Structure 1
Amino acid sequence: MDERTRGRERLAEVTSSLTERPDVGVGRMFGSEGYSVRGKLFAFVSSDGRLVVKLPGERIERLGLDNMVMRGSPMREWAAVPFDEGAERWRSVAEEAYAFVDSITP
């Protein structure tokens, strides 16, 4: 199994309670399919199998996460969580990303 597939399986597992909510759907961004709140993406898996989430920049720093890098530039509100950090870390960060995007999406 490749890294992206492994990451997608974990993401589906750790977000199962979130994906049951009526305002959560599947969306596409950065060439990957992920989960959205009312059409705004909050979590997806990168090609190398990391969880990528939308969070405020200062929160990314406090969590000790790296910003996702696209074409050599760090994306200010997108953080990457390595697969090695485990399912519970993925779950808590994904839930926080959902809450953040929910709060900023009309």
Structure 2
Amino acid sequence: MTKNPALDAAQTRLEGFADEYLTRPGVDWGRMFSTIGLRVRGKIFAVAIHDGGLMVKIPEARVAGRVAAGEVVPMVMRGREMREWVVAAGDAPDALWASLLEEAYAYLDEITPR
């Protein structure tokens, strides 16, 4: 546990979704920035973030639609929007987190060399 209750809650929530992914080939936990996320073959596809949200990597072509639907916001780092990274709020429904996790896993599984 950290000294950040929002991050701890998001990490615990992510861990609740993780079991089904951790049984898939090449999926494990890995470090990204100062937290732990799910990765496939060494590439992170989902991570709990400090404000309590879930950050996932999805295809750039899907980002605008998910943002327009109000499901996510683009991840901004050092003033720059990341093309394929989006954030769902910590209080977003489980169904949204689940669909984002599945989309992110499928995307990274497809683009990451075996």
Question: What TM-score range do you get, normalising by the shorter chain?
Answer: over 0.9
Q: Is the 8 A contact 2:39 2:46 kept in 1?
A: yes
**TM-score, reference length from structure 2:** 0.86
Q: Secondary structure at the match of 1:89?
A: helix
| Counterpart check, 1:25 vs 2:28 | yes
> Deviation at 1:94?
0.5
Structure 2 CA distance for aligned equivalents of residues 6 and 57 of structure 1: 28
Tell which deviates more after alignment, 79-88 or 93-102: 79-88
Q: Is the 8 Å Cα contact of residues 15 and 91 (structure 1) preserved in structure 2?
A: no
The structure number with the bigger radius of gyration is 2
Runs of 4+ in 1 over 3 A off after TM superposition: none
TM, length-normalised to structure 1: 0.92
Task: Provide the rounded CA distance (Å) in 1 between the counterparts of 2:45 and 2:105.
Answer: 6
The structure 1 residue matched to 2:93, chosen from 61, 86, 92, is 86
Q: Please report the RMSD computed on the Cα atoms of aligned residues, expressed in angstroms.
A: 1.3
Are 1:54 and 2:61 an aligned pair? no
Range that drifts further, 92-101 or 62-71: 62-71
Question: What's the % identity of the aligned pairs?
Answer: 42
Q: What is the aligned counterpart of 1:72 among 71, 75, 79?
A: 79
Unmatched 5+ residue regions in structure 1? Answer: none
**Distance in structure 1 (CA, Å) of the matches to 2:33 and 2:25:** 24
Q: Aligned with 1:85: secondary structure?
A: coil
Structure with more contact order per residue of length (Cα contacts < 8 Å, sep ≥ 6): 1
State how many pairs are aligned. 106
CA–CA separation in structure 2 for the residues paired with 1:79 and 1:55: 8
Q: Which runs of 5+ in 2 are unaligned?
A: none
1:7-58 Cα shifts (integer Å, max 9, x gaps): 0111111232012223101111232210100001000011111100001122
